[in-house]
Amino acid sequence: MNTRQLEKYGPMLTEIGLGTWAIGGPWEWGWGPQDDQESIKTIHKALDLGINWIDTAASYGLGHSEEVIGKALKGKRQNVYIATKCGLVWDESKEGKVKNNGQPDSILKEAENSLKRLQTDYIDLYQIHWPDPRTAVEDSWRAMIKLKESGKVRFIGVSNFNARLLEKCERLEHVNSLQPPYSLLNRRVEAEILPWCRQHGTGVVTYSPMQSGILTASFEKSRLAADDWRLKNSFFQEPAFSTNLKFVEKIRPIALKYGKTVAQLAIRWVLMNPAVTSAIVGARKPSQLEETIGGTGWSIASEDMILIDHLSREAFS
């Protein structure tokens, strides 16, 4: 699989990273029940297919996703880059409820807990999951710098930050990476955030390139578990949901032109943006990865990129 460098001095990441939100299992923002052995098989399948990095977060499954990854990577750690996140914590007495906490002491504690769950002595990429409106971002970022200087994390980044917050962090220490949502259905980062990253040499690892499953062309909302977080998400509510499905049908002929599925086209479209280093694609079982990797190793012709852009703006303007 093709690789791209995460900013100027970062690791060479495969164009696709394995997202592990769903393998955390049921919780407040979970995807329904998940079998841990199936998750471990999925991680091993990703490595067999050439994917060299995994994205997770402490909050996914309230630590469970990290625990599963730690088990799956026994004896394989040296061949995999691990990215995880901090800044969302939970009260053990209120299972499933998470809240922002960007306080420096909390970030330092979270890092230690993640290291234990992942069964490793370093984290390749550590990211602030969401900004904490009650904590000055400079204070949170200084804690991240401290972790980097200690060697416990190698690169530091943020997720879901706007350009103003990125600028505040950059003044203290270079932001190695940003993890924003980006898909054909969600292009908000194109206006300001992606240009900022290109200007400052910040790597971009996008999440939700298939918009949590809508851009798979086989999505059925009726099959979601009762506690699946997507049932509460605006992209899955009417009238937006029907509009999204109509757009999928409009781009299906373009995907077929390349012998690809809509999902593969959606992934490739994200990767065509020069600001993007890699796209995070989630999987819950090994078979899902076979389609995922079809989003790499090819290009969309310029005339089709123009057509897709036109169809997108026509559908969502």
Number of C-alpha atoms within 13 angstroms, CB side, residue 165?
19
Is the pLDDT confidence value at 95 over 70?
no
Res. 225 pLDDT band, cuts 50 70 90: low
The answer, as to whether pTM is greater than 0.85, is yes
pLDDT of 58 over the 90 cut:
yes
The sign of the dihedral angle between the CA atoms of 213, 84, 291, 305 is positive
Residue scoring higher pLDDT (231 or 191): 191
Q: What share of the chain is helix, strand, coil (3-state, %, to 5)?
A: 45, 15, 35
The Cα–Cα gap between 81 and 76 comes to: 10
13 contacts 6 by C-beta, under 8 angstroms: yes
Determine contact, residues 23/57, Cβ cutoff 8 Å.
no
Q: Which residues contact 214 (CB under 8 A, 6 or more apart)?
A: 185, 235, 236, 241, 244, 245, 248
Active site residues per annotation: 60
Does 222 score more than 60 pLDDT? no
Comparing 214 with 281, which gets the higher pLDDT? Answer: 281
Cα→Cα distances 259→40, 265, 268, 283, Å: 30, 10, 13, 22
Residue 302 confidence (pLDDT) above 70 = yes
Domains (ranges, CATH) in the chain? 3-316 (3.20.20.100)
Residue 268 confidence (pLDDT) = 97
* Confidence check: pLDDT of 224 > 60: no
Long-range contacts (CB closer than 8 Å, 24 or more residues apart) made by 31-36: 31/225, 31/228, 31/229, 31/230, 31/284, 32/224, 32/225, 32/226, 32/227, 32/228, 33/225, 34/284, 36/68, 36/71
Range with the poorest average pLDDT among 72-76, 100-104, 244-248, 274-278: 244-248
Q: Is the pLDDT of residue 220 over 60?
A: no
pLDDT in tens, 232-247: 666 677 787 778 788 8
Range of lowest pLDDT (28-37, 213-222, 306-315): 213-222
Higher pLDDT, 219 or 279: 279
d(CA 187, CA 205): 14
| Cα atoms in the 13 Å half-sphere on the side-chain side of 304 | 17
Mean pLDDT value across the chain: 91
% of residues, the chain, pLDDT over 70: 90
